[in-house]
Amino acid sequence: MKLKGLMDEAYRGKVRGKKRLDERRGEFLLGFEDLVDRLKERPKREEVEALVPQDVESVRDLIISAFPGGRREEAIWGYLTSIAAERLPSPLVVQPRNYAGLELRRGKLILDGGLPASTGVEKSSWRRAHHLGERMSGGRLVVLGGAGDYLGQEMRGGGIVALSCGDYAFRKMAGGWGVVKGNAGNYLAVGASGGRIAVKGGGGARAGWLMRSGRIRIGRDVGDYLGLMMSGGEISAGGRAGCRAGWRMKGGLIVTEGYGPEAGDERVGGRVIRREDL
């Protein structure tokens, strides 16, 4: 007697021929918290990618259902947004949260908090998320509102568009481009070694501090210590710079409409010039 016949006889037809309940197939993942539990203390993008479902809709569900708390969970959520944006043929639209677009490589990610894109004015309810587009190397990140601190930090490629940004935007930037439609905070492009940045409004203090390469264009006035200790690259501003622009600079070029006191003091190299002198 064959095994099937033996089992049929043993169970005397009691066992169901067909499954009574539908079971889900695919990678076994029980939601965002489950994903967080399975990852190490400081997970890498590859580790997150290995655990998330291949199906992009499931990843989108994870993003929407998640309520990340704490820096670790926010970073994991950020990786998820990048993974989903890369897999989707159309742009991924999500609420702005910290670390969105973390290590984005391609695709398009739009952070929309409900603000009409055409108005160009931030709503009071808009949440300024930090670390947006951090370490991205490709793709596009569009922030339909103001970004918080560390926008595009350590980015190597791709592009970011935001209405405004907080401090340390494009810190250690090595490539790619960034457009800020409004004002930028302090410490813009600190330690940048490449890339292009355009700020339509004004900039805060110490923009281009320790900058080695790349270009910064600021539409209006800019704060003190512009290009402090910079060694390369170009900074130009449509308005005036504050005091001590180009202080201790070793190389590069700063061009503005005018300067405050002590501009170019203790300068070793580079040029600090007025636009009219060009």
Partner 1 sequence: MEGGSSEERIYEIWEQSRANWHRPQLPRPIVASAEEGGFPFKNYRIVVETGALERGDLYLENLFDHLIVHYLFCPRSLEMAGRLALAALEGLDGGSDGLARRMVNIFTDIVVDTFRLERSEEDEDKVLLGWRELARQELSPLDEAVVGFLGKLWGVDLPSRDRPEAEALLSVFSWGVNDRSRWPRQCQQMARVLGDLAPGVLGSGTVPSVEGLGGDARAAPLSGIASEEEPEAYRKALSVLELDGDLVRWYRDQSYSIVIRPAGIAKKSFYPSGLLKWRFSDPPSELDVPYSLSLSPRLIPGVTTYRRSQEWCRMAAGSDRVPDLLVVLDSSGSMDGHRRGTKTHAATLAAFKASIFAHSQGAEVAAISFSDRMAVQEWTRDIAAVERLLVQHLGSRTHIPGQKVLNLARGRPGCLILCITDTHIQNLYSEWEAIQEAAGIGRFVLFSIDEANKNRRVEEALGDLGAVYHINRLDDLLSLVIETAEDAYRPREARWGRQSGESFISSERMGGG
57 binds partner 1 (CB under 8 A): no
Complex with partner 1: residue 3 or 15, whichever CB lies closer: 15
Within 10 Å of residue 67's Cβ, how many Cβ atoms? Answer: 9
30 binds partner 1 (CB under 8 A): yes
Residue 274, beta-bridge partner list: 256
4 binds partner 1 (CB under 8 A): no
Q: Are 153 and 136 in contact (CB under 8 A)?
A: no
Q: Are 129 and 146 in contact (CB under 8 A)?
A: no
Q: How far apart are CB 88 and partner 1 at their closest, in Å?
A: 22
Within 10 Å of residue 243's Cβ, how many Cβ atoms? Answer: 16
33 binds partner 1 (CB under 8 A): yes
HSE-CB for 155 with a 13 A CA cutoff: 35
- Three-state secondary structure call for residue 222: strand
Contact characters 36-55, partner 1, x per CB under 8 A: -xx-----------------
- Looking at 22-30, 97-105, 162-170, 184-192, which segment touches partner 1 (CB under 8 A)? 22-30
Q: How many residues bind partner 1 (CB under 8 A)?
A: 17
Distances in whole angstroms, Cα of residue 126 to Cα of each of 73, 108, 130, 232? 21, 21, 13, 36
**195: phi then psi, degrees, rounded to nearest 5:** 90, 175
**218: phi then psi, degrees, rounded to nearest 5:** -115, 130
Q: How far apart are CB 25 and partner 1 at their closest, in Å?
A: 9
14 binds partner 1 (CB under 8 A): yes
- Looking at 20-28, 179-187, 217-225, 229-237, which segment touches partner 1 (CB under 8 A)? 20-28
- Looking at 19-27, 95-103, 140-148, 208-216, which segment touches partner 1 (CB under 8 A)? 19-27
Which residue do the tokens 């790619």 mark?
176
3 binds partner 1 (CB under 8 A): no
Q: At 219, list the tokens.
A: 């539409």
Distances in whole angstroms, Cα of residue 23 to Cα of each of 55, 87, 203? 17, 26, 56
Q: At 236, list the tokens.
A: 């130009």
Complex with partner 1: residue 34 or 266, whichever CB lies closer: 34
Complex with partner 1: residue 12 or 42, whichever CB lies closer: 12
34 binds partner 1 (CB under 8 A): yes
Complex with partner 1: residue 67 or 118, whichever CB lies closer: 67
Binding region for partner 1 (CB under 8 A): 11, 14-16, 19-24, 28, 30-31, 33-34, 37-38
